[in-house]
Amino acid sequence: MSGTPPPTLLEADRITRRTPEGETLLEGVSLAVAAGERVGIEGPTGAGKSVLLRALSLLDPIEGGALEFRGSPLADGDVPAYRSRVAYLHQSPALVEGTVEENLRLPFALRIYRDRSFDRERVAELLGALGQEPSFLGKQKGDLSGGERQVTALVRLLQLAPEVLLLDEPTAALDPESTALAEELIVRWVEAGERAAVWVTHDPAQADRVATRRMRLARGRLTPAADHGRNGGEV
């Protein structure tokens, strides 16, 4: 007998996104993401991959279609809680002036996280998985490389334990060794519970390594990607 299928965490049903001038960015895009999945999104520059992630995270409005989380449609008042469970990581993350630790503490000032607190031990564990020592917490924002900013932003997100990660080129500024560590950490994070990731990447080899399912976005439409090689999500 087959087991119970994993629950669908995030579902987009024919969502549409247009510019103020009426240019179509996303045209009837549908995507269902189940727990345990790592969906790789590929496509040419300007195809709308970042637009899709921002729409899925409700950072930008959608003109048509609908989003559901765990089988329930979203009401206006659900948006803050939804964004805490479906979290978007920008390719060039914004940090405030101050230390890495100060940046990691920032989310806990938000009302949605008022019942949580900064966990230095957990953060040190995440940093260690990404090749950083605890002393990294004391580095100033102005002294961070592009890769170190991406590490900081990834840890800032993972410490909040969302259920779905929307990752926009999260390793673009990392060297190959750090990229491998980040890929391994994200794969383990998805596998540790009822979690999933949607991962935009320009690198087909990375999609081979991290994705359990690959999609292609072109001209505002999302379709299954051709199989370019190994697709078992191994890292």
In a domain, 108, yes or no: yes
In a domain, 38, yes or no: yes
In a domain, 185, yes or no: yes
Would you state the pLDDT for residue 232? Answer: 41
Would you state the pLDDT for residue 2? Answer: 59
Domain count within the chain: 1
- Which amino acid, residue 6? P
Would you state the pLDDT for residue 47? Answer: 87
Would you state the pLDDT for residue 235? Answer: 42
In a domain, 1, yes or no: no
Q: Which domain holds residue 160?
A: 8-223
Q: Say what the pTM is.
A: 0.92
Cβ atoms of residues 156 and 148 within 8 Å:
no
Question: Which residues sit opposite 72 in a β-bridge?
Answer: 69
25, 68, 215, 223 from 30: Cα distances, Å: 14, 11, 11, 9
In a domain, 154, yes or no: yes
pLDDT in tens, the chain (235 residues): 457 899 999 999 999 999 888 888 999 999 999 999 999 999 988 889 999 999 999 999 899 999 999 999 988 789 999 999 999 999 999 999 999 999 999 999 999 998 999 999 999 999 999 999 999 999 999 999 999 999 999 999 999 999 999 999 999 999 999 999 999 999 999 999 999 999 999 899 999 999 999 999 999 999 998 754 444 444 4
Q: Counting every residue, how long is the chain?
A: 235
Q: How far apart, in whole angstroms, are the C-alpha atoms of residue 162 and residue 206?
A: 23
In a domain, 48, yes or no: yes
Would you state the pLDDT for residue 227? Answer: 53
Q: Of the candidates 57, 83, 51, 90, which has an alpha carbon nearest to the alpha carbon of residue 168? A: 90
Would you state the pLDDT for residue 19? Answer: 87
In a domain, 22, yes or no: yes
Tokens (6 digits) for 114 = 């008022």
Q: What is the CATH number of the domain that holds 185?
A: 3.40.50.300
| 3-class state of residue 84 by DSSP | helix
In a domain, 228, yes or no: no
Q: How far apart, in whole angstroms, are the C-alpha atoms of residue 132 and residue 185?
A: 13
